[in-house]
Structure 1
Amino acid sequence: MSGLVQCGDCNAAMTRRDRTGNRERLYVQLICRRSTDSGGVRMVTISEHRAVNRVKEWLNELADDIGEAAESARRSEHLQLTTRTTAKEAQDELDRIDKQLATLRRHLIAERMTEEEYDQTRAELLAEQQSAAERLASAEQQANSQESEPAQIIARRLIEEWNTLPVTRRRDLLSRLVRKVQITPPQHAMGQRGSRSSLSGSLKRLS
């Protein structure tokens, strides 16, 4: 979760630290980086195991949200249809303008129009061509940027392959779904009983 975990007290990034040095019995904590680098803020910590388990719970909730998955699929299908229609219309217009420009040139050569008429008509067609080309480029860019898979599918894959995916691939998939994992500190002063941090309600889903 490197780059995603954030201290809920000061909004600084949290860093990973092994508290035992024993590879057979690891105890890894996520610690507020600002509290260790410069001090002056509360040392918010949580065990990495607990944080990962909470993220997995959230992924399960997302993967099981069938209603939202269906709605997401409908939105994606509608957007893809609109994008394809826009791209086709723009391409058709470009083809039409290419033919008109060729015809216009033949008219000039055959002296069926003056050079002034040719220049004016050609300028109008080139302006239309530029506009159509921009619409086509925009539609293609939008098509390329569309999420190829619904969030629920990505979440399910993460859950099923969590232990076998390479760390970089796991982080990439998680970052598609989560803007940040915020570790919320308790209301008690540091050192009081029950002062461990919590992730409850702290996952921020990407819009």
Structure 2
Amino acid sequence: MSMAREEMISPDIQRSAITDWARRTGRRIVRWIEDLDETGRNFKRRIIEGITAIEAGEAREIVAYRYDRWGRNAVGSLANVHRVEAVGGQVQSATEPYDAETAVGKYSRTNAFAIAEMQSDIIGENWSAAINNRIERGMTGTGTPRWGYIRKGRIPDLDRPGRYRRDPDDPLGERYEPDPELSGAYVSLYERYVAGEGSHQLVRWLNVNGFRTVRGGQWHMTTVLQLLDSGFAAGLLRVHDRRCKCGQPMRCTKVVYVEGAHKAIIGMGLWEEYLRVRERTRDMGPRTKQALYPLASLIKCGHCGFALSAANAMGVRGFGYRCTIFRQRPDVCEGVWCKRVDAEEAVLAKLREKVSDLDARASLTTAREAMRAAAYADRERLTRELVRVDQSLRKLARQQLMDEGMPEAIYAELRDELLTSRRDLEKELDRTKEEERQADVDHEPVIRGLLEEWDTLPVQQRRAMLARLIRYVKVYRTGPRRPPRFEVRGTWEPEIA
């Protein structure tokens, strides 16, 4: 049995029909299995318990109210019917008297599964059309409450518990308006994240200050990031990319942002900065996101290129940095070690150099122009290569359609190679776009602020600010018992391959 919604066939009616069928046909019911409010598009449901019972010899038949209660995916439904019949069992319908042991009965049952799938597809298409219509009008897809906003124009439907209807006393219709009691906190969340605070710090700040989710619960890292990633505070809607045909829009990571009809709480500048910081920290490990030291993941071995790890020495935690690759692969790297204070001083010296001499502005401008020109040239080259790969993909697809003799394995291998090349090119293209953006950024105010507040800023904020200013710090060995050499490269300087 399935679906407990009022507009559907109630479980009581289904149970009564199945009981009556068993009485008429002389069957004895040994177990009831209910799949209430579960989709019939797959078999990740309790019905698998019944199939397993048939295979174990605990029962001989499974009876559903109708065949569409068995499943709404024709291929999956038939596959699981075959699974039951393969061990001598049968799948019956209490209201559709098809004899599946005859050709006509089997044909009728197959048609019933196909019709059930078609009905499910129609329902899905209508639901998608309704959601798309709302999105085109700048509304959220489902009209659910949003944190930081007050939903107006909708009131609870007393005839249908849990649902809402249009408010006849509100001529402006459905809309979201910023909640004045939460707007300040919403802006603060983005500002804190951009300034370097991690999601766990935002969670603590929200919960300590008495802020609750739209459902009245405590905040967690996942819910905070979902809130910020939604872009709703920037006046945007986060929706599934229609070009993606994955069939799982709720789980897919391919999303786009479209303009919403509601008023924004934060400016686009803050939103874009959040996206940059979010992208930069997305693939970081937990230790890097909640850095204990300002140069975490920025300081690298100049010989092997791997990030250095903090090392304890002289009874001090994090006294220095060392390369651990040489212990695992001495043939790759001989190792390097440095004091943490020396590495940080090398970085600060680099930053002081950029702001100490006013005449350096000319050289800085020249460097930024060179960086912009190099990034532009790289972007043009990568764009041409991306077009070439897309043309190759289209050509390969046409060949596969025209040449029926092309082995599927060869086609799949070539396709995967081209798709991998395309992903790599897109990453490189994103990098060049970021370099072009960096070339237009005036880093001097950030550098001055960091130098002035270095001793008072929390480690996470120092790490976040350094990530905007420093590409890397490379450490090189100079000989036994000799201090290492540091190479510090700023984001205002072109990246060296």
Aligned partner of 2:322 in structure 1 is: 31
Deviation of 1:44 (Å):
0.5
SS at match of 2:352: helix
Structure 2 residue corresponding to 1:21, chosen from 311, 315, 332 = 315
For residues 352 and 313 of structure 2, the distance between their equivalents in structure 1, rounded to whole angstroms, comes to 29
Aligned partner of 1:12 in structure 2 is: 306
If the length of structure 1 is used for normalisation, what is the TM-score? 0.53
Aligned partner of 2:483 in structure 1 is: 196
Distance 1:32 1:160, change over 3 A: same
For residues 306 and 451 of structure 2, the distance between their equivalents in structure 1, rounded to whole angstroms, comes to 27
* Percent identity over paired residues: 25
For residues 438 and 312 of structure 2, the distance between their equivalents in structure 1, rounded to whole angstroms, comes to 39
Structure 1 residue corresponding to 2:442, chosen from 147, 150, 158 = 150
For residues 322 and 484 of structure 2, the distance between their equivalents in structure 1, rounded to whole angstroms, comes to 10
SS at match of 1:66: coil
Give the conservation status (yes or no) of the 8 Å contact 2:313–2:320: yes
Deviation of 1:18 (Å):
1.1
Letter in 2 for 1:10: C
Structure number with bigger Rg: 2
For residues 34 and 177 of structure 1, the distance between their equivalents in structure 2, rounded to whole angstroms, comes to 27
Aligned partner of 1:205 in structure 2 is: 490
Alignment of 1:165-204 (within 5 A): 165-186=457-478, 188=479, 192=480, 194-199=481-486, 202-204=487-489
User: Of the two structures, which has the highest relative contact order with CA contacts closer than 8 Å and spacing of 6 or more?
Assistant: 1
Distance 1:175 1:27, change over 3 A: closer
Distance 1:170 1:65, change over 3 A: same
For residues 336 and 454 of structure 2, the distance between their equivalents in structure 1, rounded to whole angstroms, comes to 26
Letter in 1 for 2:341: H
If the length of structure 2 is used for normalisation, what is the TM-score? 0.24
1:61 aligns with 2:318: no
Distance 1:58 1:146, change over 3 A: closer
Give the conservation status (yes or no) of the 8 Å contact 2:346–2:488: no
Deviations 1:31-78 (A, max 9, x none): 013124443321201111111111111111112242444775xx9xxx
SS at match of 1:174: helix
Larger proportion of helix: 1
SS at match of 1:18: strand
Give the conservation status (yes or no) of the 8 Å contact 2:310–2:318: no
State the superposition RMSD in angstroms: 2.9
Distance 1:179 1:66, change over 3 A: same
For residues 330 and 321 of structure 2, the distance between their equivalents in structure 1, rounded to whole angstroms, comes to 16
For residues 44 and 159 of structure 1, the distance between their equivalents in structure 2, rounded to whole angstroms, comes to 27
Give the conservation status (yes or no) of the 8 Å contact 2:302–2:474: yes
